[in-house]
Structure 1
């Protein structure tokens, strides 16, 4: 049983969804991103997505793009991402890297997997890699004990949902909307249907992301999903803050607010 499997088993026993929080490594600096992630964990985040800043983000909205650009401008590199992963894993929470596939290929798939496992990482979220093209990653991830978290969308056919869920491990990442990341005033009406379709083809936990930004939305998603994934709203806490401590305070408050929405009882 992987770290992520254990988390979902524990959340089920507590009759709640898991809270997944995303922050990019190196924003606003490597050290500051480590402090920010620790703040999220201390205030209720169950699983951390450490973003690998990338210069050509296909799926990222303006908030995450701005943070990634700042991290890259500050000189953040892949080795820094692993440093953040190591610090996060040391907090005792499952830690995954969210990355586009190009940086993995450039480093070498097996080398990347080995380095991620050595840092205590639990797996990889690959928004632009589909299972059909992931044979090398499947082999490397299994060799190093890492989970493979693939994305599905409302436009995915039932056949594609089944194929993706079969190749995935840890959980399946269901994108609740068509489009890029970002906070939204309402959660997608397509999300419950997408999760219901996934339930017909897999017993894997399903996490829903893209758009959740407050307790009410988190509670709504937690009613039908196994995990609620939050990114832009957390990043915005730091982007909007005039100084680091103000940003950390806002991050703590939002994490607590979101976690309160996980409690189904």
Structure 2
């Protein structure tokens, strides 16, 4: 065999070795990928099917890698992620099989740190920045009825925020301990608007109510209803000034706002507004 033929044979053998090596690497990657997918799939099978399907649509918050390990927690949950010595350190997924909750997050010394997401068994979703295991930063909370955006401080929504309800009602304003509290604006689904002070989710203090017929009341509110001194201006320009007190009556899909105006002479005048609930 001449040198040229020998060289060709060596090159051919080298190429075959390279191809075999590449095939082996591909097979190893596929095997690892299948193992990775199967591990997380096996854990997700412990969750109710509706939540599992919902989570599948969202996908993991962080990329799952082959170095993830399974660590069983004292509260009955299962952690699938990065860890050292049985502690959660790095990204991972924590599952509560009995409750049906799934948490994607980043941990430092077993405490959530950074951007995390919890999917609850009732289909609520909470995404927020965490510091030392507590929600501290901008977050979004979604339920079947509403979406709330704002700043969380020590696990409570506090400060400026927004709330959008599925029925069309919107709120822009301040929150305190998870409730509408402070200055804010509510746009009701029937076209009415309230702007002013709120306490524990209710209009309370000084505020302005504007109805869809362009009439408005500017004055005092107590526990969600008109009560106190104020000014009422009708859509045609007729105005009243004095003490107002609201009586609420509900009738299925309509709410009649009955407001009693009391003038200084002692006589009463009733103002009625039909509202869509």
* TM-score, normalization by structure 2: 0.21
Instruction: Name the structure where strand makes up a greater proportion of residues.
Output: 2
Question: Over alpha carbons, which structure has the higher Rg?
Answer: 2
Task: Kindly indicate which of the two structures has a greater share of residues assigned to helix.
Answer: 1
TM-score by length of 1: 0.22
The structure whose RCO (Cα within 8 Å, separation 6+) is larger is 1
